[in-house]
Amino acid sequence: MARSFVITAAVLCLAQPIGAQQSDRLRLGVFGGKSWIVGHSDPVPASFPLSGASENGHHFGALLELDGAAGPLSLRFDAIYNRLTGQSAAFSPAGRMALLDEYYAVLVGFVLPFRPGSAFSPYLVAQTGTFHSRLGTNPEVGLDDITETRSGTGVGIAAGAGLRFQLRRSLSAFLETRYVDALNDVSGRRTLPITLGITVRR
């Protein structure tokens, strides 16, 4: 997780010189929404099978995006927190399902807009980055307080599509969905977040 904070700090430090040179191309934003479960995780560790949580959750985060960083592509950085929960009685073929299934992630990737500058602009987004995942459980059946945790850090991917709504010259909103998968040893559940956000140009 410390690595994620270092990357985030570096991104924020870089924002100032970029904004000074290309302020009309730099977007800063915040977002949040519902996280839907779309896939199972592998149990970890083998000696104590533990799968991801059983219930949908939520997420929130912040982004920095530089329009036209590579021709038609925009460069985008995201910092995200995602949280799922579960019940002690829930089981899956992979093992006991976690009471807590969360991750912190710092992602970087590209956005491909199809109608840049218009009032409604659909786009594709693909990113990769560092995920710090944590699963919490209680080995006693019927108890919901978390007494044991498993955590891991590694790479992950996020890819999907969205629609940007231009509200004012420097203000826009977006609706987005992405498939998100942390690929480390403690990865939790794969999710399909439905995200609503807002961005402003510096």
Q: Are β-strands 171-182 and 50-51 bridged in parallel, bridged antiparallel, or unpaired?
A: unpaired
Contact 98, 49 (CB under 8 A): no
Question: Looking at the domain assignment, is residue 17 inside a domain?
Answer: no
pLDDT tens-digit readout, 68-119: 878 889 999 999 999 988 776 555 555 567 888 899 999 999 999 998 778 8
Q: What's the total number of domains in the chain?
A: 1
Examine residue 113 and state whether it is found in any structural domain, yes or no.
yes
| CA distances, 80 to each of 39, 145, 158, 180, 193 (Å) | 19, 25, 11, 11, 11
Residue 112 structure tokens: 């491909």
Q: pLDDT at position 38, please?
A: 86
In a domain, 20, yes or no: no
Is residue 52 one of the residues assigned to a domain? Answer: yes
pLDDT band at residue 20, thresholds of 50, 70 and 90? Answer: very low
**What CATH number is associated with residue 180?**
2.40.160.20
| Calpha distance 97→37 (Å, rounded) | 13
- Distance, in Å, from the CA atom of 54 to the CA atom of 64, rounded to the nearest integer, reads 32
130-170: pLDDT as tens digits: 999 888 887 777 777 777 788 889 999 999 999 999 998 88
In terms of residue numbers, what domain contains 197?
A: 2-10+26-201
Reported as a single tens digit per residue, the pLDDT across 25-77 is 899 999 999 999 887 655 555 555 666 777 889 999 999 999 887 888 999 99
Assigned token pair, 60? 């929130």
How high is the pLDDT of residue 128?
97
> Global pTM?
0.78
Residue 21 belongs to a domain: no
Residue located via tokens 């934003």: 29
- Give domain status of residue 16, yes or no: no
Q: Is residue 134 part of a domain?
A: yes
In a domain, 19, yes or no: no
Whether 61 and 197 have beta carbons less than 8 Å apart is answered as no
Closest CA to 8 of 59, 67, 81, 68: 81
Torsion of Cα atoms, 61 then 10 then 112 then 117, to 10°: 80
